[in-house]
Structure 1
């Protein structure tokens, strides 16, 4: 490693990029057809492995990661060149290798060494695959080697496959691709910095046999298994395509290669890059982060359009903008008493500040928005493995991957979605033979979709399986002592599955039904300020809809007054407000009243009773009823008066004070006072509990 540059400053960026490449590798492997693999997919998987290997080798301290990706890269290269036949078992091994690589990245990120036993096992499997052609036994044209292993006998005139070498090792002077001549890469109109960067990248693709440099030109003779197109693609991340020419040519006779830094380099390369990595390190240092030009321009480079920033820094900016919005609200409230003629310029300035603060707030919040593809991309693997284990055939379709959601929510939605997907696979979609008997396609369909709707995001999990069994759910509910009847609507019956501990599974499987029920899923969704809906048709399938706010940092709210207190109602739950008349109020008991609104009886919940507010208006006819909806339940909240609608900055009350029943968070108003944000779902449960008693 270059003595002048501390490459450890680039570790985190490398780990982030490695995780992204591994995620893409998994996606490509899932989509790969073993019987007819697409070359562009094979190339993408190969490039991901090569890029990770190159980065790990450059740093020099991630040996397990470098060696594992090196072995994977070699096997993939044999498949790309059609020297090895791909099959389903090999794809499974590659997916397992991806999992091992992910664990290695996590270990190195935490300054730990990866599991040596797992590393040795996966490397041995990859080595054996390359030597045995990936099959369970000898195939036509395959002969056992003298050491007892099975190797492929090359066709007449073809080179014998070389054993896999450690990272950086030279294959005994024999070009890896088996050609008599090395690849010559001629580059024109190139500056010194780009030339140094390309030399470092070429060294990762193979062995540089010779280099010639002149004013604005660079020529390399490269011993490599990469194709000319792959080499050109690597170069194109640094220079333009019209600057590159490739072809197979003999190395000039007067060249004198020397072994340096695990690569064979000539004298002038050695001067530019004493350890084989110096030029890359210098290039990375100027870019502010690790850049692996072999695969993609990494975030943070001067030429790139992105900048990688820690989440904690973004959260700090969001908090500061929130404080700015609160201060701006205080100024607006204070200035409202000023004479608009006398203080015209001041009021105009405050109005402009208000617009700028809102624009700034929205711009900062957009930084924390992440596309749903971050979540959806992990499910092809889940579906593939779960369906294989159950002997089912399932096609997964995703829509709305570009739909964005706040990062804090997107990470919390993964577990509920995983539970719903596994439920569909295990209990929803039928086995192929049953589907065929029902006249269905033997291959089931599972849909994951996301879309924006107003200020919310709707996520759907939909399958074309057998649907929910109404009678079975009712029997199970009766056996658990739940109050049910045969006349219940389908929607009410579906709601029964959200009861704690409710499950109609006849046996526990390792796919679903492991004691984590739909009640946990609903609680998790409600904790994010969202709700869940179910729809099902017998024999046609089930659709689960999750409705979430786009972010929990900012809330569109309606402020209401109760006594001397101010409360905030989430505007997304408010449907209307009205001043009731006496004939609309119906008392069921001393503690329970109903409000009759357009043919519907709604439970009436006085907020002054819920939060023990003194000096509040008790007469409903002199109060305001705010109709709210939580999931499929509508009820009315009795408040003294409406104050207004505005955006509020959400503050975590539990972290700053303590948890208060019926309250989800708090905010600071323009006058500096604290207002509580009402937890509509808690009030919904409150109304249900009162009705049950």
Structure 2
């Protein structure tokens, strides 16, 4: 079957440009030991490489593989993050952008620059990290005639100190902090008075200044932070390590003591006498694009690339010289390409008919409102009922417009598997089911990358080589199966292979070796298999450009959870592995059951509810560890009082003759103790994470008809909370009946 992959290229381009922007911005603010930032840069590069490989853009994939490998060494601590290394990565981002822009514009790009940077990447990778550090040190010695062997063991720190206005009112004095810093090494201080108000508006008890400090000494970040620990809640403190290029003990011709004395003046005097230091060329190029880095120091300074060696915020690539036009063009083209959707004519016709019905209903209600009388109440009620029906149908029709067959996501994999067969030498048969199962466009776009990771993982880790399969009595051709189907109000996507399965012991031992688990607590198979989603976890013996770097699986889980979904792993040795993803059909609407607990209203997703019932005393079983089980036919269901979980007052605190809503997720059941069952209705989901922060047991919020806010319960999260509570009680000697442990595990 011939598949046209070109329809997916605009999405790849948009995501790639976003990834490049993230890489560039993060590189500009990259610090030694900043693991979260380096991981984010690495994931962006890995996603670009994976997408490029899918669509056959070999030049992008091969070049990005070099970048990714260098980043991999940095994030694992095998290579020190140096200024020269960051500069090389920034130039690499420029080259990646040139390659992707050439794809977007269907043109060729200059290969000499790309080849040159690729050679530099290869040279860097061929050097051992220790050798690289030694070469960097030698280069510094040549560039800086003032540097001597006395610099051994010294570290250069850049400190940005922005106190809150009321700092001195709490008895703290910045001058004393700077004086304490001088005990750690040689200190250089710059004062920034850009926020000083006019003279008549100055309050003598307020601090309006910011300070940029350079400290050179045999010290570490923890010692610096100890000096500022008394004011850490009353300031912005940014500490970064910088390359040690020179040592000096003067500031504007003064020694450290003179500097301290000079700072001990009032705010107005400091502002009047503060001098903006000129950044050296190395500092400027560290936050500039590849083009700017090639300019001489005077040219860079004339471009006003920076005003201070330390930037209070990461520098946006859109603000950098020689790059603005390129970035704006990229952004506009990417967004334009991604702003369309194919809609069937029948769906459009349905919308038009519904709009017509709404117009008729609106006209009728307007006429009733002109000269309203009590005799028209019945007609008004009928009109409102019709309006409600039309609105509901319109909502469903609009949602259907956003629904696309999952074949849009599945169609990219035949080419991917075909290419992987060539790289691995394996023989693989890709089988797909449920291609016409529809999914919301937003969900479809965000699930693409996790699916790519899982398919690549199945091919590289799951399927054995042909000779190994034959020795096990299997067919030499391995199978990767993609299946999608609706289940209630959600969609289930399964990625299965008939390979070697997951070695439980290998995963357990690797997790213990990495310190992810202590190895003393017993874990179920499901809990062990869930460890493969830990960041940086991998049991691959060799690293390839397909997988095995310990990246991807953690991204898979994060992306799925961000969509309100969950992922499960089932595996049997020499039989195969299945990754099962449950996703909501849409991110906007939820069918929910409203329940009341005390004065609070909560929403339980309708698809998770098994049944609601009035408890009976004879079915209640109290066990040690403060656990209550309710016998529901053949199951012992743990009872979770919502009022205890969220620390609120409730009308009903006794489980006897109470209302119990039995819910199920991931094959596990719990009973939620509530005060009252209210209505069932569709609600519009509002993200709690975007507007506040993620709360365990809560998946989002909604606004009810009366204007009040109701929380949407995250049933898998609540089950997880119940499991943690049970394990905690068990670990503290509150052993409960074996049946209860079995239910939650």
The normalised TM-score by structure 1 is 0.51
Aligned match of 1:37: none
* Cα distance per residue 1:254-309 (max 9 Å; x no partner): xxxxxxxxxxxxxxxxxxxxxxxxxxxxxxxxxxxxxxxxxxxxx999xx977999
Q: In structure 2, how many angstroms separate the alpha carbons of the residues matched to 1:108 and 1:347?
A: 62
Match of 1:107 in 2: 101
Q: Deviations over 1:303-326 (max 9, x none)?
A: x977999xxxxxxx9xxx9xx9xx
Report whether the alignment pairs 1:461 with 2:495: yes
Q: C-alpha separation between the residues in 2 aligned to 1:497 and 1:93?
A: 27
Q: For the structure 1 residues 470 and 623, does the alpha-carbon distance in structure 2 shift closer, same or farther, using more than 3 Å as the test?
A: same
Counterpart contact for 2:9–2:55, Cα < 8 Å = no
**Alignment partners' CA distance in 1, 2:483 and 2:721:** 32
2:387 aligned to which of 353, 360, 385: 353
Q: In the alignment, which residue of structure 2 is the partner of 1:674?
A: 709
For residues 528 and 617 of structure 1, do their structure 2 counterparts lie closer, same or farther at Cα, with a shift above 3 Å needed?
A: same
Tell me the distance in 2 between the aligned counterparts of 1:22 and 1:500. Answer: 29
SS at match of 1:602: strand
Cα root mean square deviation, aligned: 4.6
Select between 596-605 and 427-436 the one with higher mean Cα deviation.
596-605
Q: Secondary structure of 1:465's partner? A: coil
Find the aligned partners of 2:600 and 2:486 in 1 and give their Cα distance: 34
CA distance in 1, matches of 2:341, 2:647: 54
Instruction: Select 1:429's aligned residue among 432, 446, 463.
Output: 463
* Partner in structure 2 of residue 513 of structure 1: 548
CA distance in 2, matches of 1:300, 1:505: 40
Instruction: Kindly state the Cα deviation for residue 684 of structure 1 after the two structures are TM-superposed.
Output: 2.1
Indicate the residue corresponding to 1:75 in structure 2: none
Q: Secondary structure at the match of 2:631?
A: strand
Partner of 1:685: 720
Q: Which residue of 2 aligns with 1:220?
A: none
Aligned to 1:449: 483
Q: Where do residues 122-133 of structure 1 align in structure 2 (5 Å cutoff)?
A: none
- Does the 8 Å CA contact 1:103/1:114 hold for their aligned counterparts? no
Residue 602 of structure 1, aligned match among 632, 637, 647: 637
Between Structure 1 and Structure 2, how many residues are aligned? 409
Cα deviation, 1:21-76, whole Å, max 9, x if unaligned, reads: 8699xxxxxxxxxxxxxxxxxxxxxxxxxxxxxxxxxxxxxxxxxxxxxxxxxxxx
Report if the CA contact (8 A) 1:104-1:114 is conserved.
no
Question: How far apart are residue 575 of structure 1 and its match?
Answer: 1.2
- 1:502 touches 1:517 (CA, 8 Å); kept in 2? no
TM-score normalized by structure 2?
A: 0.48
CA contact 1:577–1:625 (8 Å) conserved in 2: yes
Q: How does 1:545-624 map to 2 (within 5 A)?
A: 545-588=580-623, 592-624=627-659
Match of 1:398 in 2: 432
The one of 1, 4, 7 equivalent to 1:20 is: 7
SS in 1 for 2:481: strand
Aligned to 1:628: 663
Q: 1:604 to 1:368 in 2, by over 3 A?
A: same
Match of 2:579 among 536, 544, 554: 544
Identify unmatched segments of 5+ residues in structure 1.
Answer: 1-16, 25-90, 122-298, 310-316, 332-338
1:18–1:105 Cα contact (<8 Å) kept: no
8 Å contact from structure 2 (residues 650, 675) kept in 1: no
Q: Does the C-alpha gap of structure 1 residues 478 and 453 become closer, same or farther in structure 2, counting only changes over 3 Å? A: same
CA contact (8 A) 1:557 1:645 kept: yes
Summarize deviations over 1:161-212 as a string: whole Å, max 9, x none.
xxxxxxxxxxxxxxxxxxxxxxxxxxxxxxxxxxxxxxxxxxxxxxxxxxxx
Cα gap change, 1:341 to 1:551, in 2 (>3 Å): farther
Q: Secondary structure at the match of 2:726?
A: helix
Instruction: Give the superposition deviation at 1:357.
Output: 0.8
Residues 594-622 of structure 1: CA distance to partner in whole angstroms, max 9, x if unpaired?
Answer: 33333433332211122222244212224
TM-aligned CA deviation for residue 531 of structure 1: 2.4
Residue 620 of structure 1 aligns to a residue whose secondary structure is coil
Q: Which runs of 5+ in 2 are unaligned?
A: 12-52, 63-95, 116-339, 366-372, 729-745
| Cα shift at 1:628 | 1.4
Partner Cα separation in structure 2 for residue 514 and residue 120 of structure 1: 25
Deviation at 1:551, TM superposition (A): 0.5
